[in-house]
Structure 1
Amino acid sequence: MGVTSPLKGPTRSRSFTTKLLPYVLYASFSIALCRFYFHFFPFLVSNRIILTSSSSSSPSPSPPSLSFFREEETAYETPCNYTNGRWVHDKMGPLYNGTTCGTIKDGQNCISHGRADLGYLYWRWQPNQCQLPRFDPNTFFNLVSNKHIAFVGDSMARNQWESLLCMLATASNPNPIYTNGEDNKFRTWHFDSHNVTVSVYWSPFLVRGVEKSKDGPDHNELYVDVVDDRWGSDLDHLDTVVLSVGHWFLHPAVYYEGGSVLGCHYCPGLNHTEIGFYGVMRKAIKTALETIIERKMGSGCGIDVFLTSFSPSHFEGEWDKAGACPKTEPYKEGEKMVEGMDADMRSIAVEEIEAAKVNAKQFGRLRLEILDVTKLSLMRRDGHPGPYMYRFPFADGVREHVQNDCVHWCLPGPIDTWNQIMLHVIRRWRGGE
């Protein structure tokens, strides 16, 4: 038997280590470089379009600093409590105006109707503990490409839909592909550049309803346990749904559930029990959310659902007796509180979306969120069309009585912030995938 030299084994080991060392160092350097790249430059990979100019003729921007990416990453990936805050001056102003966007409903195009005090355009919402990034249409397109987004509800849903359409139109031209109903209450536009469809469905109660009319009853009729089929039948084709209701529940109505009369709201002369509207509004929202969850769960497809909370009006006086909203600046922080009916309507929306989140946990690919805009909207007493729901209402002098719109929002205007918040939530959702 030969004797193994005590130096032979270690000599081979040192030789092998010497040859391997450069590869180890090279691999370690590569891994470190990759970690640095993905940690500090997440948008270069997952959101490249942010760095792309919306105009092909514009010069290429210089590379942003590392601090830019850290701030953006923190702003989007850390949940932002945007509910409480204040309105601060913003010299940048809105993304669009009343002449560059051809989709604004006539009564909300305050600029083209002659409103002269344009200070309402230069405010932005500043949450107390975080930054809310400015709306970027290219970012939105990048996150929702090949998707169908539907706004479902009353005229506030249409108001928000038109706001989003106008902001997106600053980066890509929308094409109208469908209009139907009185005053085009059902509309669909398509952005060919990113295959994004944006629709609005008129459904002021979310559930099946018969609206009062000159030829019919002088009250609304609601079936609180059945979703409105005008939008419910299209659920399989929708990827994001934004629900918005509230103001129509204040009108006189008779309610039905299970084929029987449940009660009514303000129905003198009818032999029905007065039950108010809060509980019925809750039932309607619950029915809508449960239907979406059940339908999507059964189909195996995912969906994103937003519920926009109640948006207060700002009439000084009775709305139908020449009540106006003449103020030209927002309320200051702490000057106006969410209370009374505004608080109750908001609470119903918040509570129902939270309950729906619990029900949806067992089903993957279903995400729900409240767009809690009640407080930030309450503070914007200056952002309504007011008398400028009509074109140049004072062209022939100041009239003693003129109808005002103190419910809907000028476009551009405060409602653009609602979509700014929605983009923030979508970005956070996508970042978690």
Structure 2
Amino acid sequence: MGVTSPLKGQSYSHSLPRKFLPYVLYAILPIALFRLYFHPLPLPQISTTDQLSPNNRIVLTVSSSSSFSSPPVTSSLSKEEEIAGEKTPCDYTNGSWVHDKMGPLYNGTTCGTIKDGQNCISHGRPDFGYLYWRWQPSQCKLPRFDPNTFLNLLRNKHLAFVGDSMARNQLESLLCMLATASLPKLVYTNGEDNKFRRWHFASHNTTISVYWSPFLVRGVEKSNTGPDHNELFVDNVDERWGGDLDHIDTIVLSIGHWFLHPAVFYEGGSVLGCHYCVGLNHTEIGFYDVMRKAVKTALKTITERKGGSDNGIDVFLTSFSPSHFEGEWDKAGACPKTKPYKEGEKKLEGMDAEMRAVEVEEMEAGKMNAKQFGKMRLELLDVTKLSLMRPDGHPGPYMYPNPFANGVQERVQNDCVHWCLPGPIDTWNQIFLDVIRRWSIKSR
């Protein structure tokens, strides 16, 4: 019994399709898989016309890409599998640095917000291999940073970076990546070395600020005219940022290195002790417990002031970032490595591990305290280990322009603490974005 064309109004025989149906499916399935492998479906992009829903959550919709947008993230998973995976928490701590031929989103010679000392490219650093690595977590995929996605998630919001120079380093990394999609306008600057600044992205009504507060709590920094030590009051936050909490929607805290300096600590109006206070009649108590008190006071204050508010707040704490000095700080090869450490090659131990442990424990305690408030979310940006594995990412002698223009000097100052821009610190903001993106997906 033959089969005539349905174009002529004839119907198929019922027996033949059932007979050949399995063979048809076996033929189509490999073709479909082949198509998806080489041409995976793109993830939904965030529309620049998205609006806030009544409960103040971002609503994601599909939109056409901007001419400034970075390449879309693609996946071979189905949409349902992808959403289910992104609702599962990701451990960004464990993983490895893998070579990435795509390189950074921005060029250090053209980004106008980089602090001079971290602009390694313009200062003549001759090697560029440090730019071509990406962090690959062991248990999940970390998408490439998409500036449009970030700006849409922070639409109509105020993001504040609060802390020491590492907070500023992370802020400038973020601004450089966002500037590839939308140019920010500097709307406020104050303080020595522009320690208090604010930018506005008119395209999304997004405001990003930086507050210099190296202890998070109230402190008096040592100076040439005053005592040769810092003074910290561990039971009160620094009101230079605390006083603005009513106008902040997302806050990123970052401290650590300043606690290594000589200091006298106060609590409850009396001296608690000191660190490296030679010649002073105070008890030496180190700095770990004091740093713990500072983080605890900051999180407690944020929770008390913002927990009951209508819009709440998202709170991040960037964990301690290790330095990589090898030998003396003023030798040409103070941080000479040009490649990342491999997994297992460098252990997280000593002070680096202790500083991180304090922050992990206090953030967990902060989460418990904030559970009574439905509009507070807290998360640790745990970057200590992945940063420890990047000894190649610091300015080193290139904190100054062309340090070897006249030959190798016997003494040359090195920066093995801060990070070149672009550089490994861009990954911190990559994780930052992935956390808030997952929050948005989960809230839907």
TM-score by length of 2: 0.84
Query: Which residue identity does 2:411 align to in structure 1?
Result: H
2:257 maps to what in 1? Answer: 247
**Greater Rg by CA:** 1
Question: How is 1:4-403 mapped onto 2 (pairs within 5 angstroms)?
Answer: 43=44, 46-48=59-61, 51-55=63-67, 67=77, 69=79, 72-73=82-83, 76-319=86-329, 324-403=334-413
The answer on whether the counterparts of 1:75 and 1:132 sit within 8 Å (CA) in structure 2 is: no
Deviation at 1:82, TM superposition (A): 0.9
Deviation at 1:374, TM superposition (A): 0.3
Alpha-carbon separation, structure 1, partners of 2:362 and 2:330? 32
The answer on whether the counterparts of 1:342 and 1:374 sit within 8 Å (CA) in structure 2 is: yes
SS state of the match for residue 298, structure 2? helix
Q: Deviations over 1:152-203 (max 9, x none)?
A: 0000000000001010000001000001100001010110000001110000
Alpha-carbon separation, structure 2, partners of 1:399 and 1:44? 51
The more displaced of 161-170 and 295-304 is: 295-304
Cα distance change on mapping 1:408 and 1:63 into 2, 3 Å: closer
The answer on whether the counterparts of 1:371 and 1:422 sit within 8 Å (CA) in structure 2 is: yes
1:4 maps to what in 2? Answer: none
Alpha-carbon separation, structure 2, partners of 1:122 and 1:321? 26
Query: Which residue identity does 2:116 align to in structure 1?
Result: D
Alpha-carbon separation, structure 2, partners of 1:97 and 1:246? 29
Alpha-carbon separation, structure 2, partners of 1:117 and 1:71? 41
Deviation at 1:274, TM superposition (A): 0.5
Query: Which residue identity does 1:259 align to in structure 2?
Result: G
Query: Which residue identity does 1:205 align to in structure 2?
Result: F
Cα distance change on mapping 1:64 and 1:296 into 2, 3 Å: closer
Deviation at 1:67, TM superposition (A): 3.8
The answer on whether the counterparts of 1:75 and 1:131 sit within 8 Å (CA) in structure 2 is: no
The answer on whether the counterparts of 1:121 and 1:413 sit within 8 Å (CA) in structure 2 is: yes
Deviation at 1:428, TM superposition (A): 1.2
2:34 maps to what in 1? Answer: none
Cα distance change on mapping 1:95 and 1:72 into 2, 3 Å: farther
The answer on whether the counterparts of 1:312 and 1:374 sit within 8 Å (CA) in structure 2 is: yes
Alpha-carbon separation, structure 2, partners of 1:412 and 1:47? 29
TM-score by length of 1: 0.86
Percent identity reads 77
The answer on whether the counterparts of 2:164 and 2:213 sit within 8 Å (CA) in structure 1 is: yes
2:20 maps to what in 1? Answer: none
The answer on whether the counterparts of 1:174 and 1:191 sit within 8 Å (CA) in structure 2 is: yes
Deviation at 1:318, TM superposition (A): 3.4
Q: Deviations over 1:206-255 (max 9, x none)?
A: 00000000000000000000000110000000000000000000000000
1:421 maps to what in 2? Answer: 431
Cα distance change on mapping 1:260 and 1:88 into 2, 3 Å: same
RMSD: 2.2
Deviation at 1:63, TM superposition (A): 13
Give 5+ residue unaligned stretches, structure 1. Answer: 1-39
Alpha-carbon separation, structure 1, partners of 2:333 and 2:200? 38
